[in-house]
Amino acid sequence: MKIHEYQAKEIFRQYRIPVPKGGVAFSPQEARKVAEELGAEKFAVKAQIHAGGRGKGAMKEDPSTRGVALVATPAQAEAAAAAMLGKTLVTKQTGEAGRLVQKVLVEEATEIDRELYAGMAIDRASELPVVIASAEGGMSIEELAKEKPEAIIRMPVDPVAGLYAFRARALALELGFKAKQINKAAGIFMALARLFLAADASLAEINPLVVTKSGEIAALDAKINFDDNALFRHKDYAGLRDIAEEDPLEAKAKEAGISYVSLDGNIGCMVNGAGLAMATNDILAVFGGKPANFLDVGGGASAGQVEEAFKIILGDPRVRAIWVNIYGGIARCDIIAEGVITAAGKIGLSVPLVVRLMGTNAEAGRKMIEESALEVAAAATMAEGARKAIEAAGIS
């Protein structure tokens, strides 16, 4: 789960990571009010979307409006908010479609002396949480990793003990913090590590972490991604979810208890079990096809879930064929067949359907589908299913 910058900064405050004073606004008037209450000399107005790159990104409706604006008065903050709210922000991370801006963060602006990068993630290779830091902040860490990998420092963190103070200080020193700033910077790295571990985050990032003209250190941007599989033990964070920012089909699937990830191909896949779902996507790729999604209806899929899965797959306008690939282990093929037949009858199938049923009650399931009014291509093997689905989608 992703959250907004203003929400992540609230969590930073709880961990005593210094962030600029500010508040969220849903309308230009509110933005003005927040600015008036801050009473600063300069303000930063920042579009709140679940994607980065806002500083360089621009509104689709007006490319001269960026996702971050620096202004001098509350009236200008109101105008900057009006130029962002209700507009579509396109950044490197949003793709061409962009994201609708529905709220802005209004902050006291900071006079920047230096921009650095600090983040935490899980390093799969060492199987440990890792602090990632660089004296060259501001630009995207992905680009920096490609162009100047030597400028990135990685430091593994003990998942139980956290980031040791002496290591945090060594990191601060290596990043070029002055003697007087070392303890403050180290404290921020340790707090970030504490937050990351306690929140079961998959990513916690400060980009940029800045040194201000007056020598203070502050987090000017904040990003926290939570591990969905651990959200059940963070009821306080679950409320930070913003469904408006999520893929509507993925949100619908989550509600129905279906694992669904939207991909960019045109063959809709309905599969049970994550392993088989991945194998299905792989074999489509092997034969030159492209899956429109990863969809796992779950081990003990009910007819109702199959129906939901169909609705989700057909909700994607790019889908030109559907491949139902089920292995009946705990799930029974006859129940899946029943779900397919009722769902197809109710929703009305607008694209060709390929079905492969194997395992428990497969014979019965196949017979039910054959005897139904559905126009279905049956497949006995993975390869046959992939070939037929690709042919049905009109690519070969």
Q: Which amino acid is at 387?
A: R
Q: Which residues contact 41 (CB under 8 A, 6 or more apart)?
A: 72, 109
Eight-state DSSP code of residue 256: T
Least Å distance, CB 67 to ligand GDP, is: 6
Q: Which does 54 bind (CB under 5 to 8 A by kind): ligand GDP, Mn ion, none?
A: ligand GDP
Residue 43 beta carbon to ligand GDP: minimum distance, rounded to whole angstroms? 8
**C-alpha–C-alpha distance, residues 320 and 284, integer Å:** 14
Q: Which of 10, 18, 23, 55 binds ligand GDP (CB under 6 A)?
A: 55
Which DSSP state fits 228? G
Provide the angle, in degrees to the nearest 10, between the axes of the packed helices 28-38 and 74-84.
150
Is the dihedral angle over the CA atoms 154, 159, 164, 168 positive or is it negative?
positive
Give 137 or 268: the residue with its C-beta nearer to ligand GDP. 137
Cα–Cα dist 206/34, whole Å: 23
Which of 15, 18, 70, 351 is the binder for ligand GDP (CB under 6 A)? Answer: 70
Judged by beta carbon distances under 5 to 8 A according to partner kind, the member of ligand GDP, Mn ion, none in contact with residue 68 is ligand GDP
Nearer to ligand GDP, 110 or 293 (CB): 110
Catalytic, 205? Answer yes
* Between 38 and 109, CB nearer to ligand GDP: 109
Neighbour tally for 28: CB within 10 Å: 20
Subset of residues 172 to 231 that bind ligand GDP, contact rule: CB under 6 A: 207-208, 220-221
Minimum CB distance to ligand GDP, residue 239 (Å): 23
Q: Starting at the edge strand that comes first in sequence, how are the strands of the sheet with 259-262 ordered?
A: 259-262, 293-296, 267-271, 321-328, 353-359, 376-378
Q: Which does 109 bind (CB under 5 to 8 A by kind): Mn ion, ligand GDP, none?
A: ligand GDP
Residue count at the site for ligand GDP (CB under 6 A)? 17
Residues near ligand GDP (CB under 6 A) are 44, 46, 52-55, 68, 70, 109-110, 112, 115, 138, 207-208, 220-221
